Amino acid sequence: MLQRCLDLLAPALERPGAVVVDCTLGLGGHSEALLTRFPEAHLIGLDRDKEALRLSGERLAPYGDRATLVHAIYADLAEVLDSLGIPAVQGILFDLGVSSMQLDEADRGFAYAQDAPLDMRMDQTTGISAAEVLNTYAPGELVRILRQYGEEKQAKRIVSAIVREREKEPFSNSARLVELIRDALPQAAKRTGGNPAKRTFQALRIEVNGELSGLEKAIPAAVDRIAVGGRIAVLSYHSLEDRLVKQVFAAGATSTAPPGLPVVPEKYQPKLKLLTRGAELPTEEEIAENRRAAPARFRGVERIREARL
């Protein structure tokens, strides 16, 4: 859905001096497209993965000082802009979830289709691994994570098996966890929804990287730092992310005036305008070209007023 992102951001970025933030730099594909499409714009790219920063830095080198790359998580958006002396920007892009590079590198442990160390850290210089979560968290906490972050209906059954097996030997690799999940689930649960380990791996990844707590901070910060006339585009890949984005955008696009006022004062009027009708889905052609785009949900907003008085 890259083209849709570019088209939505275009009215805000087709002006001299425009600044756009790619909050999820990855390998720099979106950033390269932004710099090419909007030759007057300056890009700030954030990523917590140092290897991604190195590779994207090589990719974006031809654009010289038009690109500023920062080792940071999107939750630190406001702090990064403060450190650069930038009070407001004209465009912000989020492409959430795990990057293709991380999925394709077996030793990162994100993919359930191949055996690998259970790491799942997007920034491998800090934090705890997925193996540590599995081996040390209390059973009740593991159940909560699988239910809340993976929307796994069989969380209790899976966690019971995990606790039983970790007492014999701590978890270290993904293949053992995938096999355990297959054995733990009833036949009916294994016949729907793709790989039965998918939801557990998603839940562990979100927990290890603090993705939802980071997003809870990042989306409001983006709304706060986007200039009037500026636009925010978000691609999310599971319902928890999309729900959070939807709630923040909807709140910003809603009047806060008490009911019954004949004239709504400006301080109560919406500060955002929704640019998408609900969440837009990828086309069949996009999914055929990249099957990982299938769960994508796209939302966009424009800032139409300054902060409420």
What are the pLDDT digits (tens) for 30-42?
999 999 999 999 9
82 is in an annotated binding site: no
Query: What are the tens digits of pLDDT across the range 206-240?
Result: 999 988 999 999 999 999 999 999 999 999 988 89
Backbone dihedral angles phi then psi of residue 168, each to the nearest 5 degrees: -80, -45
7 is in an annotated binding site: no
Q: Provide the pLDDT for residue 267.
A: 82
User: What angle (nearest 5°) sits at the alpha carbon of residue 106, between those of residues 112 and 188?
Assistant: 5
Residue type present at position 143 = V
| Contact indicator for 63, 86 with CB cutoff of 8 Å | no
Residues facing residue 303 across a β-bridge: 272
Q: What is the CA radius of gyration of the chain?
A: 21
Distance CA 29, CA 9 (A): 16
Average pLDDT taken over every residue of the chain: 90
What residue spans of 84-172 are helical by DSSP H? 100-104, 130-136, 139-150, 155-168
Q: Say if residue 284's pLDDT is above 60.
A: yes
Of the chain, the end-to-end C-alpha distance in Å amounts to 36
Of 115, 90, 93, 104, the residue nearest 33 (C-alpha): 93
Query: What are the tens digits of pLDDT across the range 233-266?
Result: 999 988 899 999 999 999 999 988 888 788 878 8
Q: Provide the pLDDT for residue 261.
A: 80
Task: Write out the H or E segment, with its range, that includes residue 229.
Answer: strand 226-236
Q: Provide the pLDDT for residue 259.
A: 81
Q: Provide the pLDDT for residue 309.
A: 42
28 is in an annotated binding site: yes
Q: Would 309 be classed as within a structural domain?
A: no
Residue type present at position 131 = A
**Mean pLDDT, residues 59-88:** 96
Q: Which of 209, 237, 257 is the last residue of a domain?
A: 209
Distance CA 159, CA 173 (A): 17
67-71 sheet: strands from edge to edge: 67-71, 42-47, 19-22, 89-95, 226-236, 297-303, 272-274
**Mean pLDDT, residues 268-277:** 93
Q: Would 294 be classed as within a structural domain?
A: yes
Q: Which of 166, 184, 209 is the last residue of a domain?
A: 209
271 with 182, same domain: the answer is no
Q: Which of 190, 209, 228 is the last residue of a domain?
A: 209
Residues facing residue 300 across a β-bridge: 233
CATH of residue 221's domain is 3.40.50.150
Distance CA 59, CA 57 (A): 5
102 is in an annotated binding site: yes
137 is in an annotated binding site: no
CATH of residue 189's domain is 1.10.150.170
| Contact indicator for 302, 275 with CB cutoff of 8 Å | yes
64 is in an annotated binding site: no
Helices 50-60/29-37 angle, 10° precision: 30
Q: Between 26 and 108, whose confidence is greater?
A: 26
Distance CA 260, CA 242 (A): 32
Q: Which pair of tokens denotes residue 40?
A: 């007057």
When pLDDT is cut at 50, 70 and 90, the band that residue 190 belongs to is: low
Q: Say if residue 43's pLDDT is above 50.
A: yes
Q: Between 123 and 143, whose confidence is greater?
A: 143
Give, as one character, the DSSP assignment of residue 291. G
Domain interval for residue 273:
2-95+211-303
136 with 54, same domain: the answer is no
227 with 166, same domain: the answer is no
- Number of structural domains the chain divides into: 2
